[in-house]
């Protein structure tokens, strides 16, 4: 018979590498008290790592350098958002970096949320969840939301032909079409860029 700790550990092992899970992700298995006890047991045994309050991941080590691999800020933010039943978007600075439109790593890990603003301290990471109006989450296509956030952050005057070429190479034809359809949620100049990306 599979025990609760074994079931939880199997869920982590089947998840994509680096995934951070919240206690609430396992409430379909047992009561909150039982889940808390099982997670605490797994952490004591070294099978799981407590990232911050109520968030966990599998401990990972870079074998080549024998260094502990920290959790990814985006994974921590996503798990916290799920726990809070909130929506999440990377800030414009992070979105621009993710899309290759900016090589500058953001000084702060900031994510936009429909939930309450909060600061998460996960090991050596500090992650800021900043509450924004619900209209920011009107775009349902993840790729469109990412591009719109990045362009709004960069500003109309900063968008270059090189950046447009990067977007064309990063986005599939279907994603460019989705961006055009979603552009009515963005400023007019972003909509014009979406048209340019679709035409070429």
pLDDT digits (tens, 9 = 90+) for 69-102: 999 999 999 999 999 999 999 999 999 999 999 9
Could you tell me the residue ranges of all domains in the chain? Answer: 4-68, 155-200
Residue 175: is its pLDDT beyond 70?
A: yes
**So what's the pLDDT on residue 143?**
95
How far is residue 13's CA from residue 18's CA, in Å, rounded to a whole number? 10
The pLDDT-based confidence of 200 (bands split at 50, 70, 90) is low
pTM equals 0.88
Instruction: Just give the CATH number of 4-68.
Output: 1.10.10
Q: Identify the H or E element spanning 57.
A: strand 55-57
Reported as a pLDDT band with limits 50, 70 and 90, residue 123 is confident
Q: In what order do the strands lie in the sheet with 88-90?
A: 88-90, 109-113, 125-131, 118-122
């Amino acid at each position: 018979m599979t025990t609760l700790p074994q079931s939880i550990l199997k869920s982590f092992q089947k998840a994509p590498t680096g995934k951070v899970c919240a206690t609430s992700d396992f409430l379909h298995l047992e009561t909150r008290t039982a889940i808390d006890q099982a997670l605490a047991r797994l952490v004591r045994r070294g099978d799981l790592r407590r990232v911050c309050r109520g968030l966990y991941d599998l401990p990972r080590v870079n074998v080549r350098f024998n260094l502990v691999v920290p959790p990814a800020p985006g994974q921590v933010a996503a798990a916290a958002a799920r726990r809070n039943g909130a929506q999440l978007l990377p800030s414009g600075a992070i979105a621009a970096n993710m899309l290759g439109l900016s090589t500058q790593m953001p000084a702060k890990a900031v994510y936009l949320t429909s939930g309450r603003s909060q600061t998460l301290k996960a090991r050596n990471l500090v992650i800021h969840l900043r509450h924004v109006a619900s209209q920011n989450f009107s775009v349902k296509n993840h790729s469109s939301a990412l591009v719109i956030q990045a362009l709004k952050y960069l500003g109309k005057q900063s968008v270059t032909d090189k950046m447009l070429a990067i977007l064309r190479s990063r986005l599939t034809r279907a994603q460019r079409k989705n961006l055009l359809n979603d552009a009515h949620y963005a400023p007019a100049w972003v909509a014009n860029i979406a048209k340019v990306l679709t035409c070429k």
